[in-house]
Structure 1
């Protein structure tokens, strides 16, 4: 009997508030509303947590049936916001992270509501903002926030007519954002202390300058042309004195030679996932004295010059085979560049028909 009583003890409620808030940071807000029915303490914590995460899904298999209909979702989220406003009149602004992941088609009234939510978050000095709202235009007040340190935008419209002012922003991630080249430049130019930049099919063109504080850069192009020149990319990498990692994923190459020269790079990943035209990297020059990790996709006939005396680990992917195949000597000559590594992973694309030709 004593054992049964022990297993029924509510241990979570006895945890310190900071620990409970940390647990809340991993949960959608709808879970917190359900928990608020259990006790007065949970009701208070559901409106005082510094983490807000709303997910709206217009699909029958979404587990929270109450939020499947757009009207119900907006009413529930709005009511929660109003309760938070009342609480914050006493406790003051206190929002660390705000995340909205919404796939509804928004009308004008819906967009005004999202505007109001973001205005409340900015007034509450939100630190992290993560938005996936289809075809929603980000308001100017977000682009000139002094408090935001992390900004993730997915499937939004980005219109930035003048240079933004994001003096605290360190992390910027844009994914499938509808933007022109000017807006993209104006946004990135306003991030004066940025350290991490991730662009996945963001905008129609990539041609911008980045703050010298940047340490991590990831570029991925899938469905559109690259939108930049080889000279621009090479100059961008070599011109960032603190850049530690560069991850470049492209689907189809518009040029087949590349030079990566950097004294600060420690991790480099260059991957060409698909090329309808058959163009891939066949010549590369990598001069990175502090590089320790390399991930590279190549063909057997690739001519690669590597100056990386501290390189200790590499992952090499053979892909996009030429029609005439390649010889064993070709492969051995290429791999000789990596004879001093501590760890080498060699991946062969199983979808390709690889044929080794005799050198005799």
Structure 2
């Protein structure tokens, strides 16, 4: 009596779960298990084509690209059933007609996740067929040019949008974001073609951005809780003068009532410092419990902006401060903005502080001293300099500072 084929009798969702942990190449190999498994791979709804499809150790790039094209064509030709996820990631630029053909084919399926990563070459212009993916939930594009057709009304089901090294016009960007009403997660990295970011997304919860832009504002973003934002170029003096009548800090926070985690990277603190900086925000960030700031301690406006953020975050528990040492080393003078507020500021909820990239100059030491005196509940502060030079002197300074918290532990970390 033949033993029952227990694998073949597994439920379809269990088989799909097994396949989801395998590469396309490994999924193909299941066809040799039995006659029942010969074409099971052809019903798998999650397709990912990348370097795991085949071994590339002894093949040149042309052979690899041709083989990948043949594999994708073969799978799509014989596939039987829905395709919910399609990922194409390759270090070399594939033929435009091939990618156009695959996207056109997928537009006739109920695809929910689409990932296209083109690591090299010029921007790939997305065909109009992409914008007919009506059931799309997740979209990730790398190195692409977006120009939707005039009839495009948005991705009504999209929840996650990840755009890296993309090009699109200013109006295209604004229309794209506002026409995705269910968008919850947005990532923008190294983009061009638009410099003014108006984020109108009522369901947005997570926003990650890094690039060069002139202005950013939020509208209908009461659900937004996590923001990581980096401005990769310094704000020029001309632009600072042009915006002197505005207050970037107030404009930035006015539509962020529920923010919980904020990372201010690169030169974005300098952007927030444009205009009149108040002592506190009109509406405090009562939900903010984690704050990360990259700062030039020799820039008075940046220091005052950082102070405003600290004063406006009454429930802050974790703080990370990263210095921009190149700018600070070039400065001749320094300022001590912390001295005047030591007695009037107290951050009762702050428990953990990380300070990195410092040179041991006076403004940095004043800030550390200020925090130790203003944090009665501090449990741990770690200090990591930018280099080993002057490390012993920094340690001696840290040992001399008084602390308002008896249990505070100050740790020196080697660079």
- TM-score class, shorter: 0.7 to 0.9
From 161, 178, 198, give the equivalent of 2:167. Answer: 178
Q: How many positions carry a matched residue from both structures?
A: 328
Aligned-pair CA distance for 1:103: 3.3
2: CA distance, partners of 1:13 / 1:47: 15
Q: Distance in 1 between matches of 2:18 and 2:67?
A: 26
Residues 64 and 335 of structure 1: CA distance in aligned 2, closer, same or farther (over 3 Å)? farther
- Inter-CA distance 43–294: structure 2 relative to 1 (3 Å threshold): farther
Task: Return the index of the structure with the highest Cα Rg.
Answer: 2
CA drift at 1:123: 1.8
Aligned to 1:119: 104
Q: Determine the structure 1 residue equivalent to 2:294.
A: 297
Distance 1:339 1:252, change over 3 A: farther
Equivalent residue, structure 2, for 1:333: 370
Q: How much has 1:197 moved relative to structure 2?
A: 0.7
Distance 2:388 2:200 in 1: 38
Question: C-alpha distance in 2, partners of 1:137/1:170?
Answer: 23
In the alignment, structure 2 segments of 5+ residues that lack a partner are: 241-246, 333-360, 401-415
Mapped contact 1:122–1:145 kept (Cα < 8 A): yes
d(CA) in 2 for partners of 1:202 and 1:272? 16
Q: Does 1:227 align with 2:213?
A: yes
Which of 232, 252, 263 aligns to 1:269? It is 263
Mapped partners of 2:127, 2:235: distance in 1: 35
2-structure distance, mates of 1:273, 1:27: 42
Please give the alpha-carbon distance, in whole angstroms, between the structure 1 residues aligned to 2:233 and 2:389: 19
Structure 1 residue 36, shift from structure 2 partner: 2.2
Single out whichever of 332-341 and 35-44 deviates more from structure 2.
332-341
Residues 1-360 of structure 1 aligned to structure 2 (within 5 Å): 15-55=10-50, 61=56, 68-84=63-79, 87-88=80-81, 94-106=82-94, 110-133=95-118, 135-160=123-148, 162=150, 164-207=153-196, 208-221=198-211, 226-229=212-215, 233=216, 235-236=217-218, 240-254=221-235, 259=249, 260-261=252-253, 262-272=256-266, 287-301=284-298, 302-303=303-304, 304-305=307-308, 306=310, 307-320=312-325, 322-323=328-329, 324=332, 325-327=361-363, 328-334=365-371, 339-340=376-377, 346=382, 348-351=384-387
TM-score (norm 1): 0.77
Partner of 1:91: none
CA contact (8 A) 1:144 1:164 kept: no
- Structure 1: stretches of 5+ with no match in the other structure: 1-9, 89-93
Considering only aligned residues, what root-mean-square deviation do their CA atoms show, in Å? Answer: 3.8
CA deviations 1:135-182 (Å, max 9, x no partner) are 322122222322001100011121235454210001100011133323
